[in-house]
Chains A and B, each alone.
Chain A
């Protein structure tokens, strides 16, 4: 069982749909993250949660809505997305938000908006 599990691995949705990405970490970590990876661009941090509290929203449009019900689970709710939102969405976790802690990533969810 991998440390950080993401579902679904692939998702195709229309611009008017509502869908959710799910992430679960089995590492006993207290911090969780959502990153976006687009072609030819560096990974972009979207949201940070620490002990289930959102501590950072990196200027992400409101059509992306995160939810962290407990320290092991993280969701990214998607609605009225645009084609430019098509990307690989990566969930990650770390022991906490202390400087220098290693961040571990899941396999990612490939999102295509049509």
Chain B
């Protein structure tokens, strides 16, 4: 059975304090790994798709990386507006069915 585990469950950072969010997965065959951001009371907002080990993508203060077992979302010098829940999901090729992790709630204090 495909599994996605995100850690830590919650993370509190001071503004400017860089850190990383982890998404580890156990799947039969990875076809794509997705990162989403979700603000309270809203739907998930697409951030990145990674397809193969070694791939990296960046957007502003966020950088996503992928290995054969896990993905990291690195946040450089975060700001309070980066506070949100970050979701990781994997696509194993089963008819676009994504398997999601439980998410990581990030809180950035000014």
Contacts and interface: CB of A to CB of B under 8 A. Distances in A.
A75 interface: no
Interface residues of B, number: 26
For chain A, which range describes its interface: under 10, 10 to 19, 20 to 34, or 35 or more residues? 20 to 34
B32 A99 contact: yes
A100 B46 contact: no
A114 interface: no
Interface string B89-110: 1010101111111110000000
A27 to B, nearest CB: 12
B39 to A, nearest CB: 10
Interface of A: 4, 6, 31, 40-43, 45, 48, 55-56, 90, 92, 94, 96-108, 110
Interface of B: 4, 31-32, 34, 36, 41-46, 49, 51, 87, 89, 91, 93, 95-103
